[in-house]
C-alpha cells in the first residue's frame, strides 16, 4: 500500500497528498477499513516532513475520509463531509448594520417585477394533483426550452442557483477529483467543493472570461469538471465573449470534463449569453437562476443540458423534496409571459449598468484599478483589504472582503454590490469617491500594482 500511495502522489504538498489519497478512495484503490501507513512512514517515503503528512491527514479527516483508531492506526472510511461554509460566512457575517450595505450581492428590490397580480391569480389554482406529477410545470418547461441557449437533453427546476450547484456538484465531483473554477469566484462554490473533498484549480479571469492559457494548463491535470459563470461573473463582472468561448471550447473538446455554467444574473445582465452547450450539449450543464432578475424569494433555478447529469439530479430529488413548489413555478411562468415584466427587466438592466458605470468612472479618475464589467457587483482593488473595510465601516458602508473569493492568495480587493446605489448621478458619484478614498491608491501608485 505504501508504494501505491507514493506512486499516486504527484504533488507532495499537504493538499496534493490529501487529493491523491482521496482519488484512491474514490476509485477503490483504497477500500473502506484499509489501514493507512503511519505519518512517519509516509513522510519518509515521500521525502516530506511529518507535518506535511499530518496536514494531509487533517484534511482527509475533515471530510470524513479517514479516521484514527488510537493505537490501531488510521483507517479509510466512507466520507461524510465536513462542517460549515467558512468562506461564505466571511462574506455574510459583517460587524453589524450599515446605513449603506454593499456586501450583500442582492438585487435592488425597487427594480424587481411586481408579484402582486401574478400571485393573486396563482393563489386560486390547484397545481398538484399527485406526488408523482412532473417536477416542472408544463408551461414553464415549454418556456425554458424555447429560451435555453442550446437544446437541453434534460431539464429540471430546483430551489435556486446554490441548490443547483450543490446538486450538480454531488453528481459530477467525487472525493479527490480535480475541479476547475474561475479565480476569483463565488465563495459558496469553493466551500461546497471543499466539503466534497475536491482539489480546486483556479484559472484567472479577464474581461472576456476564463484565461485560455490558464485553462490549457488546468486541463493537463485531468479535472472532472469545470465550473464557470458565462456572464456578469461574480465578483468581477466579466462576460465571456464569443471569441473566448470558441478558444476555450477547442481545449475542452479534447477533455472529458463536465462543463457547469452558472448564469446567476440571468435577464438583468447586459452582456450576450454564450454557452458551451452549443457545441458540447452532452457535456454541458447550464444553470439559470431567477433570483436576481425576478425575485430572490422565488427560490427557483433551472438546470438543463447533459441528460445523465440532469436526470441524476432529478432522480435524487425524488428521495428528498421531490419537486420545487409548483405555486412558485406558476408565479414565475406568470412573470415570464407578462409583457410588463419585460419592461421592468429592461429598466433594471439599464439602471444597473448606469450605476455601475458611474462608479467605474469615478474610481478610474482616482487611479483605482477595476473593470467596467456587467451585473450588480464590482470588484475593486484596494491597497489593504482590512484597512479599506474599516475605513468604509466607519462611514456606515459595508463591503464584502475579497479574500473569501480567492482560490489562491492575490491582490487585496473588495466586492461591492453597486447595483444597490440608487439616487442621482451626483449622489452615486459622491459615494464612489468615498469608495475610492478607502481603496488607498494614488494614480501613480495604482499604475505600479
Per residue in 160-197, pLDDT (tens digit) is 999 999 999 999 999 889 999 999 999 999 999 988 88
Q: 114-337 in CATH: which number?
A: 3.40.640.10
Q: Output the average pLDDT for the chain.
A: 90
DSSP letter, residue 255: S
The DSSP code sequence of 153-173 is SEEEEESSHHHHHHHHHHHH-
Name the residue with cell 443547483.
164
Per residue in 263-305, pLDDT (tens digit) is 999 999 999 999 999 999 999 999 999 999 999 999 999 999 9
Mean pLDDT over residues 241-265, rounded?
97
- Domain map of the chain by residue range? 2-76, 86-110+341-448, 114-337
Whether residue 87 is predicted with pLDDT greater than 80 in this model: the reply is no
Q: How far apart are CA 265 and CA 40, in angstroms?
A: 50
Model confidence at 130, pLDDT cuts 50, 70, 90, reads low
Model confidence at 93, pLDDT cuts 50, 70, 90, reads low
- Nearest-5° Cα angle at 304, 301 to 305: 155
The residue among 117 and 155 whose pLDDT is bigger is 155
Short-list 318, 357, 7, CA closest to 135: 318
Mean pLDDT over residues 39-60, rounded?
89
**Any idea which of 56-70, 228-242, 354-368 has the lowest mean pLDDT?**
56-70
Per residue in 332-350, pLDDT (tens digit) is 999 999 999 999 999 999 9
Short-list 196, 192, 145, CA closest to 164: 192
pLDDT for 82: 56
- Per DSSP bridges, beta strands 66-68 and 74-76 are antiparallel
Model confidence at 374, pLDDT cuts 50, 70, 90, reads very high
pTM of the model: 0.84
Per residue in 188-200, pLDDT (tens digit) is 999 999 888 899 9
CATH class of 2-76: mainly alpha
The answer as to CATH 3.90.1150.10 being correct for domain 86-110+341-448 is yes
The DSSP code sequence of 103-151 is -S-PPPGGGSPP-HHHHHHHTT----S-TTS-SS-HHHHHHHHHHSSS-
Model confidence at 448, pLDDT cuts 50, 70, 90, reads very low
Per residue in 132-151, pLDDT (tens digit) is 678 899 999 999 999 999 99
Mean pLDDT over residues 366-376, rounded?
90
The DSSP code sequence of 61-92 is HHTTSEEE-GGG-EEE---------HHHHHHH
Whether residue 97 is predicted with pLDDT greater than 80 in this model: the reply is no
Other C-beta atoms lying within 10 Å of the C-beta of residue 320? 7
Q: How far apart are CA 421 and CA 183, in angstroms?
A: 26
pLDDT for 388: 94
pLDDT for 449: 41
Examine residue 401 and say whether the peptide bond preceding it is cis (omega within 30 degrees of 0). Answer: no
Q: How far apart are CA 324 and CA 317, in angstroms?
A: 10
Mean pLDDT over residues 422-445, rounded?
89
Q: How far apart are CA 361 and CA 288, in angstroms?
A: 30
Q: How far apart are CA 382 and CA 401, in angstroms?
A: 10
Q: How far apart are CA 136 and CA 177, in angstroms?
A: 31
The DSSP code sequence of 298-362 is G--EEEEE-HHHHHHHHHHHTTTT-S--HHHHHHHHHHHH-HHHHHHHHHHHHHHHHHHHHHHHH
Amino acid at each position: 500500500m505504501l508504494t501505491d500511495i507514493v506512486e499516486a502522489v504527484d504533488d507532495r504538498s499537504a493538499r496534493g497528498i490529501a487529493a491523491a489519497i482521496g482519488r484512491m478512495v474514490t476509485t477503490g484503490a483504497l477500500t473502506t477499513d484499509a489501514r493507512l501507513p503511519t505519518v512517519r512512514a509516509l513522510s519518509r517515503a515521500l521525502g516530506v516532513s511529518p507535518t506535511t503528512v499530518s496536514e494531509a491527514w487533517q484534511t482527509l479527516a475533515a471530510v470524513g475520509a479517514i479516521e484514527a483508531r488510537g493505537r490501531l492506526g488510521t483507517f479509510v472510511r466512507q466520507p461524510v463531509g465536513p462542517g460549515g461554509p467558512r468562506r461564505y460566512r466571511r462574506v455574510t457575517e459583517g460587524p453589524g448594520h450599515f446605513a449603506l450595505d454593499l456586501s450583500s450581492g442582492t438585487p435592488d428590490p425597487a427594480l424587481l417585477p411586481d408579484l402582486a397580480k401574478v400571485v393573486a391569480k396563482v393563489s386560486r389554482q390547484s397545481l398538484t394533483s399527485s406526488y408523482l406529477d412532473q417536477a416542472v410545470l408544463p408551461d414553464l418547461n415549454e418556456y425554458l426550452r424555447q429560451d435555453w441557449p442550446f437544446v437541453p437533453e434534460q431539464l429540471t427546476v430546483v430551489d435556486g442557483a446554490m441548490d443547483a450547484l450543490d446538486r450538480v456538484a454531488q453528481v459530477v465531483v467525487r472525493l479527490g477529483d480535480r475541479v476547475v473554477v474561475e479565480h476569483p469566484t463565488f465563495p459558496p462554490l469553493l466551500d461546497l467543493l471543499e466539503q466534497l473533498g475536491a482539489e480546486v484549480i483556479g484559472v484567472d479571469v479577464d474581461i472576456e472570461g476564463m484565461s485560455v492559457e490558464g485553462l490549457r494548463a488546468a486541463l493537463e491535470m485531468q479535472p472532472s469538471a469545470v465550473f464557470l459563470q458565462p456572464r456578469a461573473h461574480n465578483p468581477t463582472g466579466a462576460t465571456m465573449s464569443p471569441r473566448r468561448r470558441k478558444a476555450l471550447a477547442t481545449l475542452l473538446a479534447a477533455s472529458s470534463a463536465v462543463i457547469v455554467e452558472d448564469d446567476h444574473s440571468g435577464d438583468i445582465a447586459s452582456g450576450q449569453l454564450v454557452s458551451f452547450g452549443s457545441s458540447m450539449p452532452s457535456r454541458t450543464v447550464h444553470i439559470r437562476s431567477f433570483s436576481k432578475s425576478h425575485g430572490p424569494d422565488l427560490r427557483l433555478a433551472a438546470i438543463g443540458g447533459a441528460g445523465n447529469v440532469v436526470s441524476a439530479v432529478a432522480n435524487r430529488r425524488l428521495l428528498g423534496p421531490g419537486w420545487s413548489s409548483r405555486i412558485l413555478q406558476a408565479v414565475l411562468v406568470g412573470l415570464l409571459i407578462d409583457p410588463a415584466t419585460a419592461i421592468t427587466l429592461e429598466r433594471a438592466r439599464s439602471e444597473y449598468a448606469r450605476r455601475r458605470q458611474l462608479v467605474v468612472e469615478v474610481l478610474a479618475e482616482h487611479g483605482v484599478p477595476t473593470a467596467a464589467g456587467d451585473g450588480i457587483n464590482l470588484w475593486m482593488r484596494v491597497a489593504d483589504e482590512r484597512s479599506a473595510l474599516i475605513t468604509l465601516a466607519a462611514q456606515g458602508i459595508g463591503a464584502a472582503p475579497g479574500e473569501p473569493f480567492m482560490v489562491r492568495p492575490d491582490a487585496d480587493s473588495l466586492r461591492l454590490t453597486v447595483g444597490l446605489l440608487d439616487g442621482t448621478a451626483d449622489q452615486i458619484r459622491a459615494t464612489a469617491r468615498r469608495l475610492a478614498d478607502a481603496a488607498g491608491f494614488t494614480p501613480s501608485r495604482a499604475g505600479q500594482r
